[in-house]
Chain A
Amino acid sequence: MVKKIWNTILFVWMSGVIVGAFIWATQQKALKEYTRIIYFHVPVSWITVLAFLIAAVYSFLYLKKRLLKYDAYAEAANQLGFLFAVLATVTGSIWAKVSWGTFWNWDPRETSIFILLLIYAAYFALRSAIEEQDRRAILSSVYAILAFVTVPFFVFIVPRIYFSLHPDPVINQTGEVNMDFKQRVVFFSSLITFTAVFVWMLKTKFEIAVMRLRIKKLEREK
């Protein structure tokens, strides 16, 4: 019941954000209609990073406690992370087409997200190459952590080596939020909604993973 209420709230809230983003929020003068992508692209990118972080935490927990549950959680987070990374790449690419003229030009931000996609792909490739589940869990956890410690180098250092055309992230260098009131309201609601949707998806995936492990255990005891 509680779950149902939450889902309804989420549905209404998300619809509100979509309507708000397209109709209510004011336009940025210089960037015109396609500024509206910020209400979707930025939250999706943020979730990509969040999922990656969660996967690393669960990988670490797995190595510590050796419970297959945690490995399944890490895998679920990585799967969702991959999905959101694809969404971020596609939305970013569409925006790049209309404002920079090409879908892809190896801008540092594009490079960073591409690396994340590569890491996710490598993670799944590794998992599919190992049959035995304990071994798969250990090795992919180690890889996830190894990838996690190298990612900051992309996010923070590589973009500075090259000149980037990407608009400043939400908070610019002077530390101000460069948006008016309506934009701010829509943007932060969107950020919260997307995070809530992600949490809901993740929880569902976790429940499925736990169920799967339980079925396996039942089969084992039979």
Chain B
Amino acid sequence: MYLHCDAVTKYFDEKLIFKNVSFEASTGNSIAIIGPNGSGKTTLLRILCNLMQPTEGIVKYKHNGNVLLKQQAYRYFSLIGPYLELYEQLTARENLTFFAKMQDIPNYPNLLTRLMQRMNLSGREDDPVKTYSSGMKQRLKYVFALLSEPKILFVDEPRANLDEEGIDTVYSILTEQRKKGILIIATNDSEDLKFADYKVTVHA
């Protein structure tokens, strides 16, 4: 797996968010996107995930040497971020079953149980997501993201809303992801930075 972000520039109307951000990553790499508040870390992540179009520049994915089209690329990555919500009225199991089926994940019930256990959410599978606390929602987002066993994992603020024990679990996930795929995190936390091989700074 290979990700190439080539001279990406983003304007919101006349306001420059960032200019000429370039980097590459392949399996085994991890990158931290850093920058002060409002510098466009989240915007960059959204562009990398095809959720937003860059004003200039391109984002390219390759798998086994083949360039992936937009319609294919989305299968290879997952995103965790504060603006990405799950369906509040549905239970965790209904949510995850829906997403698993949408992504053609074989044997998802087992995987689901395992991930729920790992994120310490066992026993809450059949509660509606709206009854979850913000920390539990964050854990659930990790379950959602890991369900598809992504080749690239994008995490916006890995530690948001989590307690000590949650952070430990997340760190072990990040360590694993870094070994078997690409890890890209947006953070300002010096703790998180130890997971990054190198840093990409965004600013206007």
| Touch test A–B (CB under 8 Å) | yes
Q: Is A4 an interface residue (CB 8 A)?
A: no
**Cβ-based interface call for B11 (8 A):** yes
B14 at the interface (CB under 8 A from A): yes
Report A-chain residues with C-beta under 8 Å of the C-beta of B53: 66, 134
Interface assignment of A178: CB less than 8 Å from any CB of chain B: no
Which single residue of chain A is at the shortest CB-CB distance from B16? A220
Size of B's binding interface in residues, CB under 8 A:
6
- For chain B, residues 13 to 39, give those with C-beta under 8 angstroms from any C-beta of chain A: 13-14, 16
B83 on interface, CB distance cutoff 8 Å: no
Contact assessment for A220 and B14 in the assembled complex, using a CB-CB cutoff below 8 Å: yes
Determine if A219 is an interface residue (Cβ-Cβ < 8 Å).
yes
CA gap between A84 and B42 in the complex, in Å: 46
A220: chain B residues at CB < 8 Å are: 11, 14, 16
Chain A residues positioned under 8 Å from B16 (CB to CB): 220
Number of A-B contacts (CB under 8 A): 10
Q: How far is the CB of B197 from chain A (nearest CB, A)?
A: 33
The CA-CA distance from A219 to B12 in the complex, in Å, is: 13
Q: Could you say which residues of chain B place their CB within 8 Å of the CB of A133?
A: 13
Is A214 an interface residue when CB atoms closer than 8 A count as contact?
no
CA A216 – CA B14 in complex, angstroms?
7
In the complex, chain A residues 200-222 whose Cβ is within 8 Å of any chain B Cβ: 216, 219-220
Q: A168 contacts the other chain (Cβ, under 8 Å)?
A: no
CB distance from B42 to the nearest CB of A (A): 16
Contact pattern, A 47-66, Cβ under 8 Å of B = 1, otherwise 0:
00000000000000000001
In the bound complex, what is the Cα–Cα distance between A43 and B166 (angstroms)? 72
The answer to whether A132 touches B11 (Cβ under 8 A) is no
B14 contacts A219, C-beta separation under 8 Å: yes
Ranked nearest first, the 4 interchain pairs of A and B with the lowest CB-CB distance are A220-B14, A133-B13, A216-B14, A219-B14
A binding-site residues for B, Cβ under 8 Å:
66, 132-134, 216, 219-220
Please list 10 pairs of residues, one from A and one from B, whose beta carbons are closer than 8 Å in the complex, sorted by A's number: A66-B53, A132-B12, A132-B13, A133-B13, A134-B53, A216-B14, A219-B14, A220-B11, A220-B14, A220-B16
